[in-house]
Structure 1
Amino acid sequence: MSAAERLVRAGSAVAVVVALHTAVNAALLRRPLTAPPPVAERVSVLLPVRDEAHQVGGALAAALASTGVPDLEVLVLDDGSRDGTAATARDAADGDPRVRLLTGAPLAPGWLGKPHALAQLAAAASGSVLVCLDADVRLAPHALAATVDLLRRHRLDLVSPYPRQLALTPAERLVQPLLQWSWLATLPLRLAERSARPSLSAANGQLMALDAAALVRAGGFAAVKSEVLDDVALVRAIKAVGGRGGVADGTDLATCRMYDGWPALRDGYAKSLWSASGSPAGAALLVGLLGAVFVLPAVAALTGIGSRSGRWVGVLGYAAGVASRVIAARRTGGRAWPDALAHPVSVAVLCGLVVRSWRLRRSGGLSWKGRALP
C-alpha cells in the first residue's frame, strides 16, 4: 500500500469519526424554550454600530419588539460612523424611552474597535444581564427572553445562541455553512462549557448574553481589547476565572447575513482567520488536516489514488464529510442539499482564505471598516 493510500484511509477514518461526533453534538446542543418565562431582571442590549445606516434600524426595531422582557434597555453606540448611522438610529428609536444613543469616544491606543465600543456600552449599562448584538442580526420576539432563560436555567456565565446564518450568493452558500459545521463537528460542547482549556472555546458575538458580574470578574472587555476574535477570547477570559459558557442553538431566535457576496466575505474572513489558526505553523497544520480529512478522500473517490480499494475508501470519506455537513445544516436551519455535496470545495476555499489571511497579516494589509488591524 502506497503512502498516498494510507493517507486516504486515515483521512477517511477521521471523517467518519467527525460525522459521528457531529451527530452527537447535534443531539446535545442546548435548545432554547419556544415559550420562555418572563425575565425577572433588567436586561441591557449592547448594540455597537459603525457605518451601519443600512442595518441599525432593522436591528433596533427587532430588539424593541421583544416580548417577555419588561425591564429592558437598549444602548446604541455610534463608533465614528461616516454614513449617518446615528441619525438613522435616532429615527428608528422614535423617542422610545428604553433606547439610549451614545457617541463613541476616540479609539484608545491598544484597543480594537469592537471591544472598545462594547466596553463603553457595558460601562453605561445598568442590567444584570448584558446582551451583545450585531447590527446585521434580526431577533425573533421571544429571542431575548429565551436567551436569558438559557443563561440562567443552565447556570452559565455566558451563552451564545448561534443565529441562523443567511447565505444567498454562491460564495456565501459555499463558505458560510462552515461556521456552524466547524464547532458542531469538532468541539465537545458540554465539556467545552466548563473546561478552562482555551482550545475548547466557541462563541459568536452576533448574539451573546453575559452575566454582568461575571464579566467584571473576568476583567471586562478590557481583557479582550486587542483580540480580533473578541467573542471567543471573552469566553476564554470568563472560563479562566471559573466561569462557564459556550454556544447554544439560536436557529429560531435570530437570523444574520454576515456578508453580501464574495468580496465582503473574502475580506471579512481575511481579518480573522489568521487569529483563529494561532500561528503560521498552526495554520499550516490546520490546512493540512482539513485537506487530508475532507478534500483528499474526494480526490481519491474520483481518481482511485492507485487502486480500486482506494477509490471506495475515498467514497466513504467523502460521504462522511457530506453527512457531517447535512447534520449540521439540518440542526442549524441551513440548506443541506445540494450544498453539502460541495463540502470538499468549501473546505478547499476555506483553506485558501486561511492562507490569504496570513499573507495579508504578515504584509500589514489587514483592515476593517476603515481601520487598520495590527
Structure 2
Amino acid sequence: MLVLASIVVAAWVYLAVAHGYFWQAGPELPHHVTPQMARVAVVMPARDEAEHIEHTLCALLRQHYPWPFRIILVDDNSTDRTGEIARDIAAEDPRLTVVQGQPLPPGWTGKMWAVSQGLEHAEDADYVLLTDADIVHASSHVEQLVAAAQAGEYDLVSEMVRLRCKTVPERFAIPAFVFFFAMLYPFARVANKRSKVAAAAGGTMLVSQAALRRIEGVSRIRAELIDDCALAREVKQGGHAIWLGHATRATSLRQYPHFRDTWQMIARTAYVQLQYSPLMLLGTVVGMLLLYAVPLALALHTRGITMWCGAVAWVLMAALFQPILRRYQQSPLWGIALPVIAMFYMAATVGSAVRFYRGKGGQWKNRTYPSA
C-alpha cells in the first residue's frame, strides 16, 4: 500500500513540475498589436445552427481588421433556417458568401467536407480562419490572431475559446475538460518545434495559406472526427511552428444544460482519441483510477503515512486545478471534487467505447461515422 501511495504522490509531483506546466491559465495572445498587410478569409461550416448563426456572423462582420477580409459560410445541408438566415445577412454585406454544401461523399466527415468546400473559395487569402458557427469573436480578435501568427512566424495559431460555464453540469464538466485537454496536450510543448506534441482547438484556428497548400488542404484528414488536433499534426510536421493558447476574445455559445449533454460531449470522441484501441482504453482507465480515485481512497480509508500520501496527492491535484477554475470564475471548492469529476469522465470514455462497438460511435449532427 505504501508503494502505491508513493507512486501516486510522485505522479502528481511530476505533473506539477515537469509536464509543461499544463495547469497554468495561459498563454494568451498579446494585446494592442497591429498586423502587417494580410488578406484573411474566414471559413465557417454550419449545420443546423439557426439558434446561433446570426449572432456569430454579425460579430465577425464587426471585426476591426484593416486589410481585406471576408467570410465564407458553408451551409452543410441544414434542416433548419441556418442557410436562410445567413443568406439574408449576405444580401446586406458583400463580405459574406454563403455556399450551399454538396452531398457528403464517402470517406469524409461532414465538417471536413464543408471546410474543404469553403477552402475552394479562399485560395486568394494569406490566412484562413477556421471557426465554428457557435463562436462569437470580439471585434479585435482576427487582427490579434494575424499579428501573433506574423510575429511568431506560426503556420497555425489556435485558441481554446472560453466555453459556457453557467449551469451546474457545465460548472462540473467544462473547467475539467480544459484541464484534461491541457494535460494531454501541454500548450508549451505544442509551441515547441522540437516537441512532437501537436494540438489545436477547433473553435479558433488561423492557418497560413502556405501551410494549407503544403498539406493539401484538409484532404488528408477528411475522415478525422478530432479534426483540430489532426490538422495541427499535419501542419507541425517537418518542424513548422504552431501555437495554442487560451482565448480572451472568443466565446462559445454552445450550451450543456443537463448532465447527459456533458456526457455526450465526452463520449462523442473519447474512444476516437484512444484510436479505438481496447489496450489504450484499459490503460486510460487504470491511469485515471491511479491518479484520481486512489488518492481519495487513501486519504479517506487508510491511516498513517499512506493516508498522508493520499491527502498530499489530493491537495496537489486540487491546487493544480485552481488556475483554470479562476479563469472560469468558479469556486475553488471544485478542486476538491476533481476525483469525482474525473470518474465521470472515465465512465463517459468507457461509454464511448461501448457506443462504438454497438455501431453508434462517432455521432454528430444526426450523422454516425465509422472508424477512420
Same fold (TM over 0.5): yes
**Structure 1 residue matching 2:200: 3-state secondary structure:** coil
| Comparing 156-165 and 171-180, the one that deviates more | 171-180
User: What is the number of residues matched between the two proteins?
Assistant: 366
User: Which residue of 165, 179, 200 corresponds with 1:181?
Assistant: 179
- The alignment yields a C-alpha RMSD, in angstroms, of 2.1
Candidates 39, 43, 58, aligned match of 1:42: 39
TM-score (normalizing by structure 1): 0.91
TM-superposed deviation, 1:203: 1.0
- 2:30 is equivalent to residue 33 of structure 1: yes
- SS of residue matched to 2:332: coil
**Aligned 8 A contact 2:164 2:255 in 1:** no
| Of 324, 328, 339, the match for 1:328 | 324
Q: Specify the SS of the correspondent of 2:120.
A: helix
User: Which one-letter code corresponds to 1:31 in the other structure?
Assistant: E
Work out whether residues 15 and 294 of structure 1, in 8 Å CA contact, stay in contact via their aligned partners in 2: no
What is the deviation of 1:29?
4.2
Corresponding residue for residue 14 of structure 1: 11
From 67, 87, 94, give the equivalent of 1:90.
Answer: 87
Of 331, 342, 349, which aligns to 2:344? 349
> 2:281 matched to which residue of 1?
283
Q: Which residue does the alignment assign to 1:193?
A: 191
Task: Name 2:210's counterpart in structure 1.
Answer: 213
How far off its partner does 1:291 sit?
A: 1.6
Aligned to 2:354: 359
Match of 1:371 in 2: 367
Secondary structure of 1:247's counterpart equals: strand
Amino acid at match of 2:344: V
Which moves more between the two structures, 343-352 or 261-270?
Answer: 261-270
Q: Deviation at 1:22?
A: 6.9
User: Which ranges of structure 1 fall in alignment gaps of 5 or more residues?
Assistant: none
Match of 2:146 among 145, 148, 158: 148
Deviation (angstroms), 1:23: 8.2
- Distance verdict in 2 for CA 1:311–1:164, change over 3 Å: same
> Does the Cα contact within 8 Å between 1:9 and 1:313 map onto a contact in 2?
yes
Mark the CA change 1:17 to 1:135 in structure 2 (over 3 Å): closer, same or farther: same
Q: 1:164-195 CA distances to partner (integer Å, 9 max, x unpaired)? A: 12222222222221232124335443333345
Partner Cα distance (1:280, 1:234) in 2: 25
- Cα distance, 1:257–1:297 mapped onto 2, change above 3 Å: farther
Q: Does the 8 Å contact 1:34/1:142 carry over to 2?
A: no
Does the CA contact (< 8 Å) of 1:321 and 1:343 recur in 2? yes
Q: 1:168 to 1:23 in 2, by over 3 A?
A: farther
SS at match of 2:218: helix
Deviation of 1:281 after TM superposition, in Å, equals 1.0
CA shift for structure 1 position 301: 1.2
Pairwise CA distance, 1:258: 3.7
**Equivalent residue, structure 2, for 1:260:** 256
CA distance in 2 between counterparts of 1:191 and 1:338 reads 29
| Match of residue 68 from structure 2 | 71
Q: Which amino acid aligns with 1:146?
A: Q
Instruction: State the AA in 2 paired with 1:113.
Output: G
Asked if 1:234 is matched to 2:231, the reply is yes
Q: Is the 8 A contact 1:164 1:334 kept in 2?
A: no
Q: Which whole-Å CA distance do the structure 2 matches of 1:168 and 1:246 have between them?
A: 28
AA aligned to 1:234 is: L
Q: Is the 8 A contact 2:39 2:125 kept in 1?
A: yes
Moved more, 321-330 or 153-162: 321-330
Q: Secondary structure at the match of 2:71?
A: strand
Matched residue type, 1:372: T
1:42-79: CA deviations, max 9, x gaps?
A: 11111110000001111101111111343110111100
Task: Give 1:157 deviation, angstroms.
Answer: 0.8
Task: State the secondary structure of the residue aligned to 2:199.
Answer: coil
Structure 1 residue identity aligned to 2:182: L
Question: Could you report, residue by residue, the CA deviation over 1:2-57 in whole angstroms, capped at 9, with x for unpaired residues?
Answer: 3xx32232112212322335783466944212212145111111111000000111
Cα separation, 2, equivalents of 1:215 and 1:179: 29
- With over 3 angstroms needed to count, the CA separation of the structure-2 counterparts of 1:194 and 1:16, relative to structure 1, is closer
* Separation of aligned partners in 2, 1:229 and 1:69: 33
Question: For 2:190 and 2:204, how far apart are their aligned partners in 1?
Answer: 18
* 1:171 corresponds to which of 169, 172, 180: 169
Distance between the aligned counterparts of 1:70 and 1:156, measured in 2? 19
Q: 1:106 aligns with which of 103, 108, 117?
A: 103
Q: Distance in 2 between matches of 1:62 and 1:301?
A: 49
1:362 deviates by 1.3
> Identity of aligned pairs, percent?
26
Helix, strand or coil: the match of 1:357?
helix
**Matches of 1:288 and 1:195 in 2, distance apart?**
31
